Amino acid sequence: MTGSPMLFYLFAAVAVGASLLVIAQRNPVYSVLLLIGSFGALSGLYVLLDAPFVAVIQIIVYAGAIMVLFLFVVMLLNAPHEDTDYDSHVHPLLRPGPMRFGAALALAFGVELVWALTRAGQSGAFAGGAVSSVAQIGHALFTDYAFPFEVTSILILVAMMGAVVLARRD
């Protein structure tokens, strides 16, 4: 890639910051939403690495499907809210703890968006043709990595069985 280190650091900072905030939140719903932010930043990193397919999959599978499931579970479990002890009329940047982080994060996203839009078309990330097209990934998956791919199926079978064994009522 010819992309800029600036973009890399922005995405990386957002990913790390959002991940740290995931564990710092007291409200699980915020944690889940921040995790989506972290996944989004990761997918940006994949784009910088010339892996558009992985980036899209990251958004669709993780940020989309899996996080929706997370959100459902969190809401179904009715996780308790922490009491908010700040004044809701104060400006977000002046509020304590998590809210301030959230505002900083929103700012970072804004900067990033502007950066990306103004530099659209000149980043050259896809100039040389993507290294990992879907066809190439598929080819690698079913030739060089056919065996690890099959091992993954056993892994998923074990995980599935474990979940059933531990969760069922008898």
Burial 124-145 (b: 16+ CB within 10 A, else e): ebeeeebebeeeebeeeeeeee
Given the complex with another protein, which of 60 and 157 has the nearer CB atom? Answer: 157
Given the complex with another protein, which of 93 and 158 has the nearer CB atom? Answer: 158
- Length of the chain, please? 170
Residues 103-162 that bind another protein (CB under 8 A): 145-148, 151-152, 154-155, 157-159, 161-162
How far apart CA 1 and CA 113 sit, in angstroms, is: 20
| CB of 162 vs another protein, minimal distance in Å | 3
Residue 170 binds another protein, judged by CB under 8 A: yes
Residue identified by tokens 């531990």 is 166
Site for another protein, rule CB under 8 A: 145-148, 151-152, 154-155, 157-159, 161-162, 165-166, 169-170
